[in-house]
Amino acid sequence: MRPTRLDTLFADATTLPGIGPKLGKLLAEFTGDKVIDLLFHLPANLIDRQYRPSLAEVEDGRIATFDVEVMKHDAPPNMGKRRNLPYRILCGNETGYVSLVFFRARGDWLTKAMPVGARRMVSGRVERFREQLQIVHPDHMLPQAEFEKLPIVEPVYPLTAGLSAKVLMKAIQAALPQLPALPEWQEAEWLKQQGWDDWHSAVQTVHRPENMAALEPQNPARVRLAYDELLAHQLVLALVRRDRKKQQGRAYPAADEMQARLLALLPFPLTGSQEAAIADIRADMAAPMRMLRLLQGDVGSGKTVVAMMGMLQAVANGAQAALMAPTEILARQHADTLGPWLDELGIKWQLMTARNKGKLRAENLEALSAGDVQIAIGTHALFQDDVAFQNLGLAVVDEQHRFGVQQRMALSTKGHGVDVLVMTATPIPRTLTLTAYGDMDVSRMPDKPPGRQPVDTRVISMDRYAEVAQSLGNAIKDGARVYWVCPLVSESELIDLAAAEDRAKALHAIYGDTVGIVHGQMKAAEKDAVMARFAAGEISILVATTVIEVGVNVPEATVMVIEHAERFGLAQLHQLRGRVGRGRDKSSCVLLYRGPLGETSKARLTIMRETEDGFKIAEEDLRLRGAGEVLGTRQSGLPAFRLADLEAHADLLPAVHDDVKLLLERDPLLKSPRGEALRELLYLFRRDEAMRFLQSG
């Protein structure tokens, strides 16, 4: 049960002044519908009312405050009908005059609020219009006694349509006195060392900033609250991980003989990082606890072979395995790669996608549930309700960031104590790995398979487009295949499609029917057909929107042209470049850009030219773009933090991680005074579900 002292924080936001049912509904979608949600909504700017110049000396464009007398109302004629005309109130003092300007004004309200002859404190942004001072829609027009009650420095909060700055600020300021005194969950020595206040003071401080420095992520009060949020998150991940370690899994002894037969079939030796990852998986699967491991491998590092070794270990011990890919193209590609090896080893397998319908689907489902199929390769079709395995032992999920955690878990519940191996070709910076995948063990594979040639990357201006287009002829004569990727023009797929079609037409004029096109508006079967023609060499140039999926494998493709490369993120550029350089021939990547380039775009293209190390690129991407975008925000499985900024506060994560580890070693049930306080922290950040992991330690 949540401690009663937190009740005021979890009261509805509608209990605060100015928040009625309508605004309550709006807040529920924007910030959350409880008082605590508003307190976790931090100011992004501030209005400083300390600037009180004379009317004669005020600087244009600044927010200023004046003590003035109301001199005259100038209402537009036929005000009711002509509401687009401004309503003006002339005010002044011994230093000059200022007009207050209102559009769509209510004259009766203005007459009451600003009676002629009254003195008022007026505050707002000053501008000059035809040499006259004016303030359009002042922030405040109050008698001096009321004005003095306002904070001199006023926080400004991020807003949404239908929510006014004044109403939101008033509600948050009214919530601050309701803050309960909570027991301290941070170590006293650590607080002192960091120079942090207690939680209560830190919340007060962030909502009453005294200057712009108080809004910086590195402000001590903000850092303290960020640490609290990261601590709650990491504590839950550690509890989940501990619980998983206790869950009974199944032990699958190593399948040395079958795995040795696979190694003999491979046309290449394993890399050091492949061998290390296989050893990790072998040990996990041989132990009686459930495996939950993240396999992070750069583009072309050979993750599929590593996953196959794990699947063989399950199959050799009488269990089934499943490999789930995010798209049909990728599922079919896995089937094309693994199928011949599985056939050679005498293992029964089948491909299951949404395209399997009717009788074929029914037969597939029956074979799977009867145990006649040992390995299933498929898309999300694998975790639909009617799919039943006889004895699922290992679930492999490819490109984890394209699936939600729920989907990953749905596959693992299709058997008893199922081991889960999650793969991603998106290199993730260490800080984000810790945050998004803290409940998993991690194997990193930075090595490239032997024989892979580096990709020659060039950055060329769009002014030289014709030259680049003509130069493709030489590559095609030598039997090469070319990808030409068109930019994300906007969020509209239709506009992207138009850009791709225009480019395909232009290239068709030079190279005729050797040019094909693939885009997001095509049906899966159409896309597959074009990709098959490209792989077979019937098409030499494939024009595509960003639909060329992660993992598409055509070893003969040796040229990648990315148009308007400045519009792509680093991770995306790296993934696209990874489509070439997959065979033994020399490959090149041309990054066409339209100048002038901004600093970030310039930095992005420079690092692409300098390195192919996906992990290095990922760290740089994090630095340039921030955590929210690096993994594709929501889809990535990256948690949405309210107080912590993963880029600005990344240096806190190792300390949080160590703190949690030590804490659970000393106080596994959180029964000590600090442990009890941390339970309140978990409730504060709505991590109530963690409590069930504390019942038995």
Q: Per-residue pLDDT tens for 592-638?
A: 998 888 888 898 899 999 988 887 887 777 667 554 444 333 333 44
Find the range with the poorest average confidence among 164-173, 331-340, 519-528. 519-528
Q: Say whether pLDDT at 430 is over 80.
A: no
Report the pLDDT averaged over residues 216-235: 94
The pLDDT value given to residue 547: 62
Tokens for 314, please give them. Answer: 């399950």
The pLDDT value given to residue 79: 67
List of domains in the chain: 50-149 (2.40.50.140), 181-246+651-697 (no CATH), 256-445 (3.40.50.300), 455-611 (3.40.50.300)
The pLDDT value given to residue 376: 96
Report strand pairing: 320-324 vs 375-378. Answer: parallel
Q: Say whether pLDDT at 446 is over 70.
A: yes
Find the range with the poorest average confidence among 241-255, 273-287, 328-342, 349-363. 241-255
DSSP secondary structure string for all residues of 129-185? ETTEEEEES-SEEE-HHHHTTS-SEEEE----TT--HHHHHHHHHHHGGGPPP----
Find the range with the poorest average confidence among 57-66, 89-98, 315-324, 606-615. 606-615
Report strand pairing: 375-378 vs 349-352. Answer: parallel
Q: Say whether pLDDT at 574 is over 50.
A: yes
The pLDDT value given to residue 625: 58
Report strand pairing: 587-593 vs 455-461. Answer: parallel
The pLDDT value given to residue 629: 43
d(CA 690, CA 543) in angstroms, rounded, equals: 49
Q: Report the chain's mean pLDDT, rounded to a whole number.
A: 86
The pLDDT value given to residue 58: 94
Report the pLDDT averaged over residues 9-16: 95
The pLDDT value given to residue 494: 53
Read off the pLDDT band of 163 (50, 70, 90): confident
The pLDDT value given to residue 634: 34
Find the range with the poorest average confidence among 23-32, 167-176, 643-652. 643-652
The pLDDT value given to residue 631: 38
Q: Say whether pLDDT at 180 is over 80.
A: yes
d(CA 504, CA 30) in angstroms, rounded, equals: 43
d(CA 227, CA 187) in angstroms, rounded, equals: 12
Residue 541, beta-bridge partner list: 482, 515
Among residues of the chain, what percentage have pLDDT more than 70?
A: 89
Read off the pLDDT band of 444 (50, 70, 90): confident
Among residues of the chain, what percentage have pLDDT more than 90?
A: 50
d(CA 42, CA 59) in angstroms, rounded, equals: 29
Report the pLDDT averaged over residues 232-249: 81
Tell me the pLDDT tens digit for each residue of 44-54. 988 888 889 99
Read off the pLDDT band of 646 (50, 70, 90): confident
Find the range with the poorest average confidence among 122-131, 416-425, 464-473, 688-697. 688-697
- In sequence order, which residues have a C-beta less than 8 Å from that of residue 662 and are 6 or more positions away? none
Q: For 487-498, what is the HEC assignment?
A: CCCCCCHHHHHH
